[in-house]
């Protein structure tokens, strides 16, 4: 999830656990605890673009990391803040729950979270919510802001903070239930077109849980389709994108390409533009694919060969403006 969501969630947890003991400082420490797993971004300059994809949400998002780190920080904070009358156990609980909820809600997105590192490189992803969802974050943020304004230790503050935690939790459960319904609807649409596939994945589009996309693999590529809860029918029109695996052959021995394939979990396709070859991770969809099937993929990397025959990897940029993409997204959400 995005940084704002983690800060809000951490602040709410801090208030619920230690608000009556240390006042607003509980929200501050809770917010910090919830953002600790994302400190991996500070290591990004030390790695190549492809390596960065696997470093993020890697070891710092593992159960091992959050357990060890919470024990260490719990001990240190109990020594540093003796006058706060917060026990070592309470500090440890604060940091553990802050980091645990961070890696938990991250796993609901499609990026993948390394719960089991360094023992396993498997990435957990439930694909039920986008990395930034306005319907999850905004109500939660409003509740927490009202709680911050309220006087410390008051019933009003406690109730608004609790309301934020409940509303956000209910919404997260909704995304899972909604995914089950959406998956059924989109599979029905695939069956109506008599399309036979070997795999099928559904995931929400940016900023919402109303419009979803599905991709299904066959022998030559992937079938893509979109469905909104506001659509009048489930008459989904799927379109096909060729994988074009042959374009990858000149780069298959490159380390960065192997890392891209690992990160994508095998869900990728190749494309060309102006004689350049692009590696596209299809799990994050296309920016505007609901309107134009030939839209650029969100996660796309340009593969280049330098003069010395070494490979240079560059992240491609969108040609469509954010305003245009957002406008078309809203229209498609409405079922248009």
Residue 319 pLDDT more than 70? no
**Residue 45 tokens, joined:** 């300059």
pLDDT tens string 183-217: 999 999 999 999 989 899 999 999 999 999 999 99
What's the chain's average pLDDT?
A: 92
pLDDT tens string 268-280: 999 998 888 999 9
Residue 146: half-sphere exposure toward Cβ, Cα within 13 Å: 15
Whether this model's pTM surpasses 0.95: no
* Helix %, strand %, coil % of the chain (to 5): 50, 20, 30
Which residue in 108, 90, 273, 226 sits closest to 177, CA to CA? 108
Residue 265: half-sphere exposure toward Cβ, Cα within 13 Å: 15
Compare 326 and 117 and report the one with higher pLDDT.
117
DSSP string spanning 70-128?
HHHHHHHHHHHTGGGT--HHHHHHHHHHHHHHHHHHHTTSSS-B-TTTTT----B----
Dist. CA 109–CA 205, nearest whole Å: 11
Side by side, the strands of the sheet bearing 211-217 are 199-204, 211-217, 221-228, 239-242
Dist. CA 34–CA 95, nearest whole Å: 8
Contact 321, 252 (CB under 8 A): no
Residue range 134-141: average pLDDT?
97
Residue 309 pLDDT more than 60? no
Dist. CA 113–CA 127, nearest whole Å: 11
Residue 311 pLDDT more than 60? no
> SS3 string of 299-315?
EEEEEEECCCCCEEEEE
């Amino acid at each position: 999830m995005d940084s704002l969501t983690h800060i809000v969630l951490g602040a709410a947890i801090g208030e619920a656990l230690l608000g009556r003991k240390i006042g607003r400082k509980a929200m501050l420490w809770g917010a910090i605890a919830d953002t600790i797993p994302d400190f991996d971004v500070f290591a990004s300059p030390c790695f190549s673009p492809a390596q960065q994809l696997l470093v993020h949400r890697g070891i710092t998002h593992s159960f091992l990391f959050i357990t060890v780190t919470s024990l260490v920080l719990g001990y240190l904070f109990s020594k540093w803040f003796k006058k706060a009358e917060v026990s070592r156990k309470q500090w440890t609980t604060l940091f553990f729950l802050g980091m645990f909820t961070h890696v938990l809600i991250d796993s609901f997105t499609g990026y993948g979270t390394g719960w089991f590192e360094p023992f396993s490189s498997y990435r957990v992803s439930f694909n039920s919510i986008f990395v930034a969802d306005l319907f999850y974050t905004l109500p939660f943020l409003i509740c927490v802001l009202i709680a911050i304004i309220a006087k410390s230790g008051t019933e009003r503050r406690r109730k608004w903070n609790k309301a934020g935690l409940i509303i956000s939790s209910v919404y997260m459960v909704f995304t899972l239930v909604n995914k089950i319904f959406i998956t059924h609807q989109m599979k029905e649409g695939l069956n109506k077109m008599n399309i036979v596939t070997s795999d099928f994945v559904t995931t929400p589009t940016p900023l919402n849980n109303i419009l979803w996309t599905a991709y299904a693999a066959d022998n030559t590529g992937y079938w893509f389709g979109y469905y909104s809860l506001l659509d009048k029918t489930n008459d989904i029109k799927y379109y096909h994108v060729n994988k074009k695996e042959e374009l990858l052959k000149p780069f298959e021995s490159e380390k960065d390409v192997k890392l891209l394939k690992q990160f994508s979990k095998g869900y990728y396709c190749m494309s060309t533009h102006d004689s350049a070859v692009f590696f596209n991770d299809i799990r994050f969809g296309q920016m505007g694919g609901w309107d134009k099937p030939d839209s650029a993929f969100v996660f796309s990397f340009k593969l280049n060969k330098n003069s010395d025959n070494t490979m240079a990897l560059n992240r491609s940029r969108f040609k469509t403006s954010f305003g245009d993409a957002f406008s078309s997204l809203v229209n498609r959400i409405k079922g248009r």
